[in-house]
Structure 1
Amino acid sequence: MSKFWSQNKGDRHSGGAASDRNTDPDLRDDDDARPRTSHEAAAPPPNEHTRLLPNRLDSTPYLSPDDPAVSPYNLWTVRLVRWVTVIFTCITFVWWMLMLVSAFITPPGLHARGSPFFAFSYTTLAFFTLVVALLFFAVPSKPSRVLSIAIAVLLLVNMIIILAVEKTRHEEAWVGVASAIWATLMALWAVVADRTVQWGKTEEEERLTGRAETRRTLLEWSEVLLSTTGLSIMAVAVVLMTWNLMLRAIDTRVAPPGQMYWVDEDTYQIHVLCKGNETDANGNRVSTVLFEGGEDPVETGLWGVAENALKNGSISRYCFADRPGMAWSDAAPSPLSASMATDALSEALARAGENGPWVLASAGVGSLYARVFSSRHGKEVRAILMIDPLHEDLLDRIGSSGRGFLIWARGVLSPLGLDRISGALFRGRNSDDRTYGRAAYQSGKTIWAKLQESLVANSLTKRDVASSRTIQDKNTPVVVISSGVEIRRDSAWQEKQRDLTHLTDDLEDWDIVDKAPHEVWETLEGRDQIEQRLKKLVRLQK
């Protein structure tokens, strides 16, 4: 018994010494050679949750809340969310660049029949939502999540309106639909990312400091303020876009008075309206007056002239087709020169079964399109009437870079509908006004048509019109009706009006309506003069 006690005591003594050697760094000979306790053998290797602190059972003090090691980036989930956000941002930026380019030159397959501006706006919202999420990624806040949810809900409403209304779905095409869906998903992803970071931040603070931190530094409060401000601006923008989209949906109830015809390999549609009798009382085919609008759609002013002339018996039949992007016609891919627009008109008239003979009546910039049409349909064109026409030498007035930039900027802002919404609320503008009337110029589709016109005015269109003058049938009768106001105001305008009277060798008349503005038909004298000249021209035999 005494021997056993002595041996046991020796073992304990030696065990204690061994223990001292294992715990004292100065007494250890080899860390790998020391025996492991059962607790150490069962402990798992350190990971991202335990590498900063030993096991809490060891009663190790917590880190300071201000320690840089206290970060949500310690969690692989947070780091993964950040990298996914970066990838989404890169994808959105590429799409944003494509939408930016499509406002000037339409990439293959990215044609929107309305305008590219709505798709560009949705992509811009998605891009800035992701940028805000990345800039303030480590500083989650409840206001940011609430605003992101509100933006996502409104974008979802936009997406539903676009898909539910046939005309908006037709105009936006897959490009606008995809952009709206992507913007909605990115707003939802911003909520997920912010909530994930908030969870990771709380987890790491509780693990490393013992409690969730409620304080914020001045820098963090500044970041919260900036993110909230940025998202608030975006939320207001989405509210306006939703309102404007609702107006577009309401305006679809205004049906086109004519028929829509697919052109350019069924890429877009052109609106054509024809009215009146094709033959006279003796069964002879009569000339059809083909109206071409100026800076505004035909429906804005010349349609009334045509109706009055038909009612008074001055003409027997008239037609007009809205240029691409004007009134009911779809927008065409860009670039769009005068000859391209004329080809679309010719195809639409052919599909409508309208072959002339024609008396062309055009105004302002529309006279350039009419001249190209005349040069290509010389046998079918009986006469040409130009109302205060624009000369090709003055195309720099609509093709200047400064004007083009202003039109583009207005187009970028057009999805907000600032002028359309205020017009509907305070000026009594109705669907007719916004579709083809006084407010038609506010439409993103019309703005884009103006931008397309401006982009090629000094190049493609000027070349087209110069070529048309060379091949124009010189025996075609011509009448020019000029604005007295414009002639007195601008000597260059007067000179170019006189030059257009020499377009052919058969000048019938050159009338100057003394008190008429550029839109000559806005005065009674101007309307009477136009009707009298049309009455004379339709009875001519070329």
Structure 2
Amino acid sequence: MVSLWRNSKRDDPDQPQSQDQNREEYNHQDDQDRTFNHEPTERTSLLPREDGHNLLSPDDPAVSPYNLWTVRALRALSLFALGITFVWWTFLLVSIFVSPPLIHTRGSGFFAFSYVTLTVGYLVLGLLFFAVPSKQMTIWGCVLSIILLVNMIIIVSVPLIRLEEGWVGIASIVWATMVSLYQIIQNRTVTWGKREEEERLTGREETRRSLREWLAVLCEMVILIIFGLAALLFTATLILRARDASLEPRGKMYSVHGDTFKVHLHCIGDRTTEDPDQPTILLEGGEGPVEHSLQPFIDDAYQNGIINRYCYWDRPGLAWSENAPSPHSAGMSADVLSEALALADESGPWVVVSAGVGSLYSRLFASRHLLEVSGIFLIDPLHEGYLDVVGQPGRGFVLWLRGVLSPLGLDRLAGAIIRGRTREDRVIGRSAYQTGKFIKAKLQENLVAVTMTAAEVQSARHIQMGETPLVVVSSGQRVRKDPLWAERQEDLSHITNKLVSWDVVHDAPHEVWTSGEGRQVLEKRLREIVEASRAHRE
């Protein structure tokens, strides 16, 4: 009745009313309607009126998608996902230096860390520009999701990559892919919420953007393009890894250290039962894979009949061998070699031959197998006095940074595309230092050089058998250039009491076998150490 009376009163020409009186009646009637009806909610539309009284300006702060509980719930979910991802990122960061239980991966772990880093960045980006959704963000989000999906397929489908990445790497790429898909849904939902609130509060959808919003959209696009390029480089590096995985090891892989990782061991030549005192050369590589350095020279000596049999292996993280849990010292590597030899049913007598930093590893092995090692051959060896250089914090930081960036594969991709590097180059050759496994191994070497490894080498020097035949061959270039190096080379010639020879090859570099004079000296001393070993056994 009140409504009918109000309408009839407005239509009666004999009762003229002012605009203010009409507005007052409308407001009075609205109050009465709210008394008898439900209170307005976030879904209640504000109907436009002739004077536009209840419509808001598009620039009013009240016009926001945050008014909808759906949008607020999505933002809370994003914050929760960011918290979980950051905790996981912290665990992966720590696992590079110290492997927590069940988180060790047989590979470097840098790929998993990179995927989680990308995920953290994507979630932060989505939260920073949560209220400024755009079509560009949806498009680039779709591109990123497709690339990450391809990454996931490669990791899961290639057996060696799947084994190296383990459940940690697989979970990381799956989570990164899920978050990228979620971000697309979030962007579309906020776009819908923004449109809904604009229509409800302003009467129409706002299509214009302020300068601040355009700058936000531009920033979103730039960052997403960077994310997309990084994911694309991850894909290219995984393709190279899949190609490298097809290179079969020359020897056999042995599970060691409680089946937590595998190492590669290869023995060449037949055992002889006629001469049990005939030693087997046990080869330890230097700074890089032994296949690219010392093994070709030893193989030539074997082909020429200078030696009858030799074995070589790859330290954890080098060539075909998988990475060991962190921390991992030189003494631990010596124990791993002992386990691999036992699994391969290989026994001495051994003449350990090593070069550079590998000499520390071979000396530790010799000190732990006093009755089986019948000769020590050191080629321009690294003295334990230089372990402080190996363990410099600055060097460790550079190795860590190289490892974090290694999934991008910039150097490996350039080598493959521009320089024609092959899978042999990347696994056992000149480009092996670029792989994440190699970098992780060198980082592990750096972390414990002045603590665990230094103590182990010092102990080995105290218990080394005094009558073991010893040969030291030094680089003339290094000796002339660095008097301290020369002094420490001489000191290494006294680690046993039975020095067969100490030679300084005049023009030879650190890798003595790469010069003609150096090869001649090495072959000569190799014959002598074999004969001295036989005499030592008798």
TM over 0.5, yes or no? yes
Q: Deviations over 1:181-213 (max 9, x none)?
A: 111111111111111111110111111111111
User: Are 1:444 and 2:450 counterparts?
Assistant: no
Separation in 2, partners of 1:227, 1:528: 64
Partner of 1:43: 37
Q: Deviations over 1:232-258 (max 9, x none)?
A: 111111111100110000111110000
Structure 2 residue identity aligned to 1:138: A
Partner of 1:3: none
Partner of 1:343: 335
Structure 1 residue identity aligned to 2:43: H
Separation in 2, partners of 1:531, 1:464: 31
User: Are 1:199 and 2:199 counterparts?
Assistant: no
SS in 2 for 1:64: coil
User: Are 1:235 and 2:228 counterparts?
Assistant: yes
Structure 2 residue identity aligned to 1:140: P
Partner of 1:79: 72
Separation in 1, partners of 2:446, 2:114: 22
SS in 2 for 1:328: coil
* Offset, 1:340: 0.8
1:479 to 463, 471, 490: 471
* Offset, 1:531: 2.2
Separation in 2, partners of 1:267, 1:185: 29
Separation in 2, partners of 1:318, 1:528: 19
* Offset, 1:45: 2.8
* Offset, 1:286: 2.1
Partner of 2:61: 68
1:454 to 446, 451, 454: 446
Structure 1 residue identity aligned to 2:486: Q
* Offset, 1:222: 1.3
* Offset, 1:43: 3.1
Partner of 1:359: 351
1:94 to 73, 87, 92: 87
* Offset, 1:421: 0.1
Separation in 2, partners of 1:143, 1:478: 69
Aligned length in residues: 515
Structure 2 residue identity aligned to 1:43: N
Q: Deviations over 1:65-120 (max 9, x none)?
A: 11111000010010000000000001111111111111111111111111011111
Separation in 2, partners of 1:468, 1:140: 65
User: Are 1:304 and 2:296 counterparts?
Assistant: yes
Partner of 2:15: none
Q: Deviations over 1:125-171 (max 9, x none)?
A: 00000000000100011111111111111111111111100100011
Partner of 1:420: 412
Partner of 2:251: 258
8 Å CA contact retained: 1:305, 1:531: no
1:499 to 491, 504, 512: 491
Structure 2 unaligned runs (5+)? Answer: 10-20, 22-27
Partner of 1:329: 321
User: Are 1:173 and 2:173 counterparts?
Assistant: no
Q: Deviations over 1:370-429 (max 9, x none)?
A: 011000000000100001000111111111011111111111110000000000011110
User: Are 1:370 and 2:362 counterparts?
Assistant: yes
Partner of 1:316: 308
RMSD: 2.4
Q: Deviations over 1:259-308 (max 9, x none)?
A: 0000000000010000102116x353521100000101110121101210
Separation in 1, partners of 2:285, 2:194: 63
User: TM-score, with normalisation over the residues of structure 2?
Assistant: 0.92
Partner of 2:201: 208
State the identity as a percent.
53
8 Å CA contact retained: 1:339, 1:461: yes
More displaced, 485-494 or 78-87?
485-494
8 Å CA contact retained: 1:114, 1:445: yes
More displaced, 498-507 or 144-153?
144-153
Structure 1 unaligned runs (5+)? Answer: 1-11, 17-23, 25-30
Separation in 2, partners of 1:353, 1:382: 19
Structure 2 residue identity aligned to 1:279: T
Q: Deviations over 1:2-25 (max 9, x none)?
A: xxxxxxxxxx99xx9xxxxxxx9x
Structure 2 residue identity aligned to 1:377: H
Separation in 1, partners of 2:467, 2:107: 40
Give structure 1 regions of 4+ aligned residues with deviation exceeding 6 angstroms. none
Structure 2 residue identity aligned to 1:532: K
1:103 to 96, 120, 141: 96
Q: Deviations over 1:489-516 (max 9, x none)?
A: 1111111100000001000000111111
User: TM-score, with normalisation over the residues of structure 1?
Assistant: 0.91
8 Å CA contact retained: 2:141, 2:183: yes
8 Å CA contact retained: 2:316, 2:324: yes
